[in-house]
């Protein structure tokens, strides 16, 4: 069966997450599998690089699908996009890949961006796409707090109690925080990179760093929370709507 890699963009707002839901709630996986069934009747199961939560978005999710027909990748992407309407899901690229490429297990890195807007007026155009706070944050303090988390650590404090990962130890390669102009305020973008992440790790980190930026925590408090290895020591978990999966790396780029 030919295997195809799909690069996918979606607005996570209408979905209960990436993963197909037993209760019949809408999911991104379910939408794409239903579109595949329109092209090749029968059940389909696709695997993704990351199982994003309800409300989380993606600009470059990667999934693979095994099909029976030998599709031209461009035509397959076009046909899927036609059948995905009106869901806010788009196939950006499609490629025939080796049978041993697995979207999740072959990935060597993942990148997330979190968008946080600080302004007094309600957000209109980006409603559901950013986390809004009212007051500006201390960028230098947040960067200092983020520096405490770089490297190989036990991230028990920063993972959900429902996380199914075998180990809480992860290596966080990068956290970059930038400040950008935004109408009536400012936007902070948190860019994080690692081989893999724990459940709720990014949102837990961003929520904690927001407290540092607001002056409620110090950068040293972030280090103490990390060393506590206790979920109760974490700051508030940021809401999902500001989070985007923006890139997945492989030994060879399947879309190059």
Q: What is the CATH number of the domain that holds 53?
A: 3.30.70.580
Q: Tell me if 49 is assigned to some domain.
A: yes
| Residue at a domain's end among 78, 106, 134 | 106
- What pLDDT shows up at residue 24? 79
Confidence at residue 136, expressed as pLDDT on a 0 to 100 scale:
98
Claim to verify: residue 172 and residue 155 sit in the same structural domain: yes
In this structure, the answer to whether residues 150 and 134 fall within a common structural domain is: yes
| 254: in domain | no
Backbone angles phi, psi at 221, to 5 degrees: -65, -30
Give 20's DSSP letter.
Answer: P
> Does residue 151 sit in the same domain as residue 239?
yes
Whether 55 and 152 map to the same domain: the answer is: no
- 234 falls within a domain: yes
Domain count, the chain: 2
Report the pLDDT value the prediction gives residue 93, as an integer from 0 to 100. Answer: 98
86 upstream amide cis, omega within 30 of 0 = yes
Cβ pair 5, 17 in contact under 8 A: no
Instruction: Report the CATH number at residue 235.
Output: 3.30.70.660
Q: Which two tokens stand for residue 104?
A: 């999740």
Other CB atoms within 10 A of residue 72 CB: 12
Catalytic member of 53, 99, 140, 253: 53
Residue 10 lies in a domain: yes
In which domain, by residue range, is 154 found?
A: 109-247
Q: For residue 253, tell me if it sits in a domain.
A: no
Of the CA atoms within 13 Å of residue 104, those in its CB half-sphere come to 8
> Does residue 81 sit in the same domain as residue 147?
no
Is residue 53 part of the annotated active site? The answer reads: yes
- Integer angstrom CA distances of residue 60 from 9, 93, 208: 6, 9, 26
Beta strands in 46-87 (DSSP E): 47-48, 57-66
Task: Give the pLDDT score at 33.
Answer: 97
Q: What's the confidence (pLDDT) of residue 54?
A: 96
CA separation for the pair 218, 116 (Å, rounded): 19
Let me know the angle formed at the C-alpha of 112 by 115 and 238, rounded to the nearest 5 degrees: 50
Same domain flag for 76 and 181: no
The domain boundary, picked from 50, 77, 106, lies at 106
Residue 67 lies in a domain: yes
Residue whose entry in the numeric block shows the structure tokens 């979905």 = 15
Same domain, yes or no: 44 and 138: no
* DSSP annotation of 96: E
Residues 114 and 99 in one domain: no
Look at residues 51, 80, 106 and tell me which one is the last residue of a structural domain. Answer: 106
Say if residue 195 is in the same domain as residue 123. Answer: yes
- 256 is a domain residue: no
166 within some domain: yes
Shared-domain flag, residues 68 and 145: no
Same domain, 116 and 44: no
* Whether residues 38 and 80 fall in one domain: yes
Tens-binned pLDDT, residue by residue, of the chain (256 aa)? 899 999 999 999 999 999 998 777 999 999 999 999 999 999 999 999 999 999 999 999 999 999 999 999 999 999 999 999 999 999 999 999 999 999 999 999 999 999 999 999 999 999 999 999 999 999 999 999 999 999 999 999 999 999 999 999 999 999 999 999 999 999 999 999 999 999 999 999 999 999 999 999 999 999 999 999 999 999 999 999 999 999 999 999 999 8
Q: What is the pTM of this model?
A: 0.96
Distance of CA 87 to the CA centre of its chain: 19
């Amino acid at each position: 069966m030919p295997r195809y890699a799909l690069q996918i963009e979606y607005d996570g707002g209408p979905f209960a997450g990436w993963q197909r839901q037993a209760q019949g709630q809408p999911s991104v996986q379910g939408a794409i599998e239903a579109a595949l069934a329109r092209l090749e009747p029968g059940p389909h199961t696709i695997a993704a690089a990351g199982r994003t939560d309800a409300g989380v978005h993606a600009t470059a999710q990667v999934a693979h699908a095994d099909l029976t027909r030998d599709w031209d990748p461009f035509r397959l992407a076009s046909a899927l996009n036609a059948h995905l309407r009106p869901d806010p899901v788009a196939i950006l690229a499609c490629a025939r890949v080796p049978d041993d490429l697995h979207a999740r297990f072959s990935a060597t890195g993942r990148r997330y961006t979190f968008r946080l807007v600080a302004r007094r007026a309600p957000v209109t155009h980006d409603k559901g796409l950013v986390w809004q706070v009212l007051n500006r944050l201390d960028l230098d303090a947040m960067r200092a707090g983020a520096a405490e988390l770089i490297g190989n650590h036990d991230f028990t404090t920063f993972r959900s109690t429902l996380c199914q990962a075998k180990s809480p130890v992860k290596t966080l390669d990068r956290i970059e925080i930038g400040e950008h102009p935004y109408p009536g305020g400012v936007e902070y973008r948190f860019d994080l990179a690692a081989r893999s992440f724990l459940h709720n790790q990014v949102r837990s980190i961003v929520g904690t760093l927001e407290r540092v930026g607001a002056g409620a925590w110090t950068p040293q408090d972030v280090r103490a929370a990390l060393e506590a290895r206790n979920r109760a020591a974490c700051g508030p978990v940021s809401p999902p709507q500001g989070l985007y999966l923006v890139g997945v790396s492989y030994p060879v780029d399947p879309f190059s």
